[in-house]
Amino acid sequence: MSARLIESLATTPALAELFSDASVLQAMLDFETALARAEARAGVIPTEAAEAIAAAARAANFDISTLADLAYRAGTPAIPLVKMLTDHVRRRDPVSAGFIHWGATSQDVADTAMSLLLKRAEPILTRDALRLENALADLSESHKNTVLLGRTLLQPAPPVTFGLKAAGWLGSVRRGRRRLHKGFGSAAILQFGGASGTLASLGDRGTSVAEFLSEELGFGKALTVPWHTQRDCLATLICACGIMTGSLGKMARDISLLMQVEVGEVAEPLEEGRGGSSTMPNKRNPTACVLALAAASRVPGLVASFLSAMVQEHERGVGGWQAEWPIVGAVIQSTGVAIASMAEVAEGLSVGPENMRLNIKNTKGAVFAERAMMLLGARLGRDVAHGILKAAVKKSEQEGRNLSAVLGEIPEVTAQLTPAELAQLETPEQYLGSAEIFRKALVSEFAREDDDKEQ
């Protein structure tokens, strides 16, 4: 994992490695290698030159600290990188050194390197997202009949099922993964346009080199038009990350609230070194939820910064483009840590059906006032029923008695509701409406997607 402690809560080991200095440097060198090979295929440079460049383009051959210092002066890492690569090749093959970076520009190196990193990041995020989705589908199925309080404005409301709650999380995560997939597909593409986006320096072989280069880098054979200052495709991915972290933050917020001791309905997995306190041995903190919530707090500002940087001048931006690398790296890693954290939560979540039912019971039937009002409203009219229930709830709270007991003493109520209806008024399972239909719809959509992939 990254040795930079300041980022230790903002990434995962896999993503820290992917966005490490050595990995970023190798991505830039991969561009130079692929460019040389593509140009050799197109007959632009000698094959021997491409081989010499490829042999030298290894991160281990470079002093990253020196490169970073020089990039600070140059305004881009590409300029010192090309110079250092040229010097390295020249020591072995002076002729081949003259063909390095042929017809390319600094932005081609930087943008394509980032595209390569994004291409490699997608499987990491997708793997953890699928873990999360599978765990949520299992939770939903296991707890399709587990009732708990609905909560609106943080106050008790009519019951729902934990299966429906988990299915709701599942739906948003799955939609988020689809957005990410589309975003990666639009953003992880070749950037190759030369000085001002025309590849004029390559004459009539520019498009052939571009097609070969795209193929060499694994982006596909189709021609990709240079997108120098048009950042909308990359913005699509960044915005998708913002939505995904928001969805994960919502899930993390729900779980952290349900973990409060006075609620006690769920708990994160308990593992050695996780969830404790430096001073309070009794603590069981929502550690993974903390990481997801931190990401959900961090990413919206980064998304806004990226969108602000889209206003780039003519064929090369002044400051906007240079702002992007740290933003993109931080957004992808934040999204990744949020997904991975919530996957761990979902896979090991402890659920307490007894406490869920107890918390419903502790409302003394107040959350079923709507049910009673609808029953009475059909017979007495809504306004009359609402007045009766408002007074009954107040009396129930004052006397500490269940709502059904209070209603059983009101003549207007007993004249309309049978003893059996009053006895069953506070049974959660009888006031779940279409909860199971909605739950099945969310989970079956997930299952259908899996079936489609297998066909």
pLDDT number for residue 25: 98
**Encoding tokens for residue 450?**
């899996």
Fold designation for 1-104+196-219: Fumarase C; Chain B, domain 1 (1.10.275)
Name the amino acid, one letter, at 95: V
pLDDT number for residue 332: 98
Mean pLDDT of 52-60: 97
pTM of the model as a whole: 0.93
User: Binning pLDDT at 50, 70 and 90, where does residue 452 land?
Assistant: low
d(CA 70, CA 77): 7
Question: What is the per-residue DSSP string for 322-383?
Answer: HHHHHHHHHHHHHHHHHHHHHHHHHHH-EE-HHHHHHHHHTTTTGGGHHHHHHHHHHHH-HH
d(CA 198, CA 334): 36
User: Binning pLDDT at 50, 70 and 90, where does residue 282 land?
Assistant: low
pLDDT number for residue 450: 58
Active site includes 277? yes
Residues 261, 398, 412: CA angle, nearest 5 degrees: 120
pLDDT at residue 238 above 90? yes
Residue 215: how many CB atoms within 10 A of its CB? 17
Residue 158: phi, psi to the nearest 5?
Answer: -50, 155
- For CA atoms 398, 402, 407, 409, the dihedral sign is negative
Whether 261 contacts 346, CB under 8 Å: no
Residue 69: how many CB atoms within 10 A of its CB? 12
d(CA 189, CA 146): 46
pLDDT number for residue 107: 96
pLDDT number for residue 273: 56
pLDDT number for residue 276: 53
3-state helix, strand, coil in the chain (%, to 5): 70, 5, 30
Average pLDDT, the chain: 94
Domain spans, the chain: 1-104+196-219, 110-191+227-362, 366-425
CATH of the domain spanning 110-191+227-362: 1.20.200.10
User: Binning pLDDT at 50, 70 and 90, where does residue 284 land?
Assistant: confident
Select 366-425's CATH number: 3.10.400.10, 1.10.40.30, 3.60.140.10, 1.10.10.10. 1.10.40.30
d(CA 379, CA 360): 27
User: Binning pLDDT at 50, 70 and 90, where does residue 281 land?
Assistant: low
CA atoms within 13 A on the CB side of 333: 23
Q: Give the DSSP H or E segment for 268.
A: none
pLDDT number for residue 79: 96
Catalytic annotation, pick one of 196, 277, 434, 444: 277
pLDDT in tens, 22-32: 999 999 999 99
pLDDT number for residue 2: 47
Task: Name the nearest CA neighbour of 404 among 356, 363, 361, 364.
Answer: 364
d(CA 333, CA 380): 58
d(CA 193, CA 315): 10
pLDDT at residue 454 above 90? no
Cα 114–chain centre separation: 18
Mean pLDDT of 423-431: 97
Whether 306 contacts 238, CB under 8 Å: yes
Task: Name the nearest CA neighbour of 375 among 423, 313, 327.
Answer: 423
d(CA 365, CA 368): 5
How, if at all, do strands 350-351 and 147-152 pair? unpaired
pLDDT in tens, 374-396: 999 999 999 999 999 999 999 99
d(CA 230, CA 314): 10
Whether 396 contacts 364, CB under 8 Å: yes
